Chain A
């Protein structure tokens, strides 16, 4: 494989943390800056107009919570009115507001930015970190997204990458990336369960590998279940201990709570490898004699952790049921996400599937590694030969990932129902055309609303967008035919076109994505990003200014 080729950055843009990796000389390695390999997906707006990204931004949570944007992956590519976004508005201290076209905007540091821009800041940070580590420009990337990401979420992620100066050669599913990192691409067919327990979300995906072809059989998850819940439990114990030591309640002191929450996370992390942890926190209430001494044994934490972890069991069972499999038919279990470091999580996984999970790759970087491997496979898929020709390497060296459509796609029809055009689980890329006729006399235009989901009733699905084809010729109803084509490319991105074949000239309309950004907005964001100034290398740290 050509070694002087520009490396492809494999990116895991996580809800809580992000990481990136590259393949060099046939070996995948996680990109690091100093000792940091895992970058908090946190962006903080400073009063002087600068943005902080990563660990330093995360530290601002206990100082200036309203201007620190975290968990923004939960917002990207969604519509403002969606239940998830409304739930987030209740949970986070920063302000989420509605933008144009139902887009999600965030107010921080006296500015209004879109969720896409926040992701772009994190991605820029990762790109610059990689460029610094590799000593060369990095342009190309493979970016991982959750298997259940919708079309809108995938396109929004792509836009963020573009804003960050990255050319995305492939969007890959996170569980598929994790399986690739473990190299399950030989000729044997297997079923793999990917158990991903992160900071705030839990996902389980059942993958089938048949002759180097990866298929997502089922994916299931809990939107709000993760390591954060364990931190919260430990925080509760700490607040109790503080009350005992000082007779003061911290319940209404968000700044102190945020500070202790960070300590609680450290305690949890220590308890994943030790049987006990003790901490001393100075001046919980600044300027007062209010030090906290707190110690916790792993055995005493278990009763709190257990019910949280057990909530993942029915989710696993649901995924298995959808895949039509019983636990013993799963050949391998791959662990992803920091929370799977807890020994108790591993024993629950073993209990659920009846076998030990794979743990040899760090669960916090396994997705980035898999994405990097896929990037290398894509770029190195044709190898130069001595005679100047090019040959394909052995199949095992580069598997082809055949993805399927995770949810059906359809259009709104009379009476509020859905006419499905692409059925879920169809292999991509694919194209499907359907013909519609006018329903009234002299109908001048048709409005085609597109949704994603399995419900017969349009409103119960996720509405993706709509397109309007106008300028139809005057004719009695039923006489004008419009062809609507759905095309899904290899990244799983949808393009919808409507065409009127009757008017000699072919007229084409393309879908406007709800919650999406128009070209002008993307342009504006690009300008803002471009003026964000020199990267971290020349600023000696984690600052992106604008």
Chain B
């Protein structure tokens, strides 16, 4: 269990790293870590460093540091937990960036994506749309099913319908899928 001084040191190390540390370093994971490892690291960080942990000290500089550090922790998690943003970030990192810039981070959602509330259902939806565009019907259909298993939403149903009724080889898709 960390003592107050250990916590304080940890916090200050991260605060000093705000202008240089990568999201991976911030969460204490490796660039090769998978989603589950990243999520667990995020929850651990939250347990230790959430600004709520410092409320008892009053509104002092410690709490302000915690707030600044924590905002970066949630930013790191929001980027690394989204496959598309993570790819964009890894590219930016090759160019020397330690953070994904604001414009790239605020990637807009399409009106359809907006109708999904489950983050993963949205990711499957997005992937399915991409695959459908490239004619990968079966792969798109699988993504839609995965999305539907998380959120039974009309936009996913519509997409499913578009895939099933696609002019190019609906028969083969059906045959493969329902075999």
CB atoms of A378 and B56 under 8 A apart: yes
Residues of B within 8 A of A421 (CB): 106
Residues of B within 8 A of A392 (CB): 1-2, 7, 48, 53
Residues of B within 8 A of A170 (CB): 52, 55
> How many pairs, one residue from A and one from B, have CB atoms within 8 Å of each other in the complex?
116
The residue of chain A having its C-beta at the shortest distance from the C-beta of B102 within the complex is: A433
8 Å CB contacts to A: which residues of B23-81?
40, 43, 46-48, 50-57, 67, 70-71, 74-75, 77-78
CB atoms of B117 and A402 under 8 A apart: no
> What's the nearest-Cβ distance from chain B to residue A386, in Å?
12
Partner among B3, B70, B151 whose Cβ is within 8 Å of the Cβ of A389:
B3
The residue of chain A having its C-beta at the shortest distance from the C-beta of B108 within the complex is: A420
A434 to B7, CA, bound (A): 33
The yes or no answer to B150 lying at the interface (CB within 8 A) is: yes
CB atoms of B74 and A382 under 8 A apart: no
Residues of B within 8 A of A489 (CB): 67
A217 to B117, CA, bound (A): 8
Residues of B within 8 A of A424 (CB): 117
The residue of chain B having its C-beta at the shortest distance from the C-beta of A424 within the complex is: B117
CB atoms of A391 and B74 under 8 A apart: no
Residues of B within 8 A of A213 (CB): 43, 46
Interface size class on chain A is 35 or more
A67 to B91, CA, bound (A): 65
A372-383 vs B: 1/0 string, CB under 8 Å? 000001111110
The yes or no answer to A385 lying at the interface (CB within 8 A) is: yes
Residues of A within 8 A of B108 (CB): 419-420
The yes or no answer to A467 lying at the interface (CB within 8 A) is: no
CB atoms of A382 and B53 under 8 A apart: yes
Residues of B within 8 A of A544 (CB): none
CB atoms of A402 and B46 under 8 A apart: yes
Residues of B within 8 Å of A, CB-based: how many? 43
Partner among B46, B74, B77, B103 whose Cβ is within 8 Å of the Cβ of A400:
B46
Residues of B within 8 A of A493 (CB): none
The yes or no answer to A31 lying at the interface (CB within 8 A) is: no
Partner among A381, A419, A434 whose Cβ is within 8 Å of the Cβ of B52:
A381
CB atoms of A427 and B77 under 8 A apart: yes
A411 to B79, CA, bound (A): 22
> What's the nearest-Cβ distance from chain B to residue A390, in Å?
4
Partner among A423, A425, A427 whose Cβ is within 8 Å of the Cβ of B74:
A427
CB atoms of B55 and A210 under 8 A apart: no
CB atoms of B50 and A400 under 8 A apart: yes
With A434-B106, A435-B102, A435-B103 in contact, do A395 and B56 touch (Cβ < 8 Å)?
Answer: no
CB atoms of A389 and B109 under 8 A apart: no
A434 to B47, CA, bound (A): 30
A492 to B57, CA, bound (A): 21
Residues of B within 8 A of A211 (CB): 40, 43, 47
Residues of B within 8 A of A389 (CB): 3-5
A322 to B153, CA, bound (A): 8
A101 to B75, CA, bound (A): 35
CB atoms of B56 and A379 under 8 A apart: yes
The residue of chain A having its C-beta at the shortest distance from the C-beta of B50 within the complex is: A400
The yes or no answer to B95 lying at the interface (CB within 8 A) is: no
A385 to B4, CA, bound (A): 10
The yes or no answer to B163 lying at the interface (CB within 8 A) is: no
A281 to B51, CA, bound (A): 56
A394 to B47, CA, bound (A): 10
Residues of A within 8 A of B71 (CB): 429-431
Residues of A within 8 A of B106 (CB): 421, 432, 434
A429 to B1, CA, bound (A): 25
CB atoms of A420 and B109 under 8 A apart: yes
Residues of A within 8 A of B152 (CB): 321, 324
The yes or no answer to A29 lying at the interface (CB within 8 A) is: no
The residue of chain A having its C-beta at the shortest distance from the C-beta of B151 within the complex is: A324
A389 to B8, CA, bound (A): 12
CB atoms of B55 and A169 under 8 A apart: yes
A429-450 vs B: 1/0 string, CB under 8 Å? 1111111000000000000000
CB atoms of B75 and A430 under 8 A apart: yes
**Of listed B52, B71, B74, residue having the most chain A CB within 10 A:** B52
8 Å CB contacts to B: which residues of A173-219?
210-213, 217-218
A356 to B176, CA, bound (A): 43
A323 to B119, CA, bound (A): 10
The residue of chain B having its C-beta at the shortest distance from the C-beta of A394 within the complex is: B1
> What's the nearest-Cβ distance from chain B to residue A181, in Å?
18
A117 to B2, CA, bound (A): 44
> What's the nearest-Cβ distance from chain B to residue A326, in Å?
9
The residue of chain B having its C-beta at the shortest distance from the C-beta of A423 within the complex is: B109
CB atoms of A425 and B117 under 8 A apart: yes
A213 to B151, CA, bound (A): 21
The yes or no answer to B114 lying at the interface (CB within 8 A) is: yes
A435 to B46, CA, bound (A): 30
CB atoms of B50 and A382 under 8 A apart: no
B152-165 vs A: 1/0 string, CB under 8 Å? 11000000000000
With A391-B4, A423-B109, A429-B67 in contact, do A381 and B150 touch (Cβ < 8 Å)?
Answer: no
Residues of B within 8 A of A391 (CB): 1-4
The yes or no answer to A490 lying at the interface (CB within 8 A) is: yes
CB atoms of A212 and B150 under 8 A apart: no
> What's the nearest-Cβ distance from chain A to residue B176, in Å?
26
A380 to B48, CA, bound (A): 14
B83-121 vs A: 1/0 string, CB under 8 Å? 000000000000000000011011011010011011101
Given pairs A428-B74, A490-B50, 8 additional interface contacts (CB within 8 A):
A211-B40, A212-B43, A212-B47, A382-B54, A392-B48, A400-B47, A432-B102, A490-B67
Complex A-B: 25 CB contacts under 8 Å: A170-B55, A212-B47, A213-B43, A213-B46, A217-B117, A321-B153, A322-B117, A323-B117, A323-B118, A323-B151, A324-B153, A379-B56, A389-B3, A390-B4, A391-B1, A392-B1, A400-B46, A401-B52, A420-B114, A425-B117, A426-B74, A426-B78, A429-B71, A429-B74, A431-B71
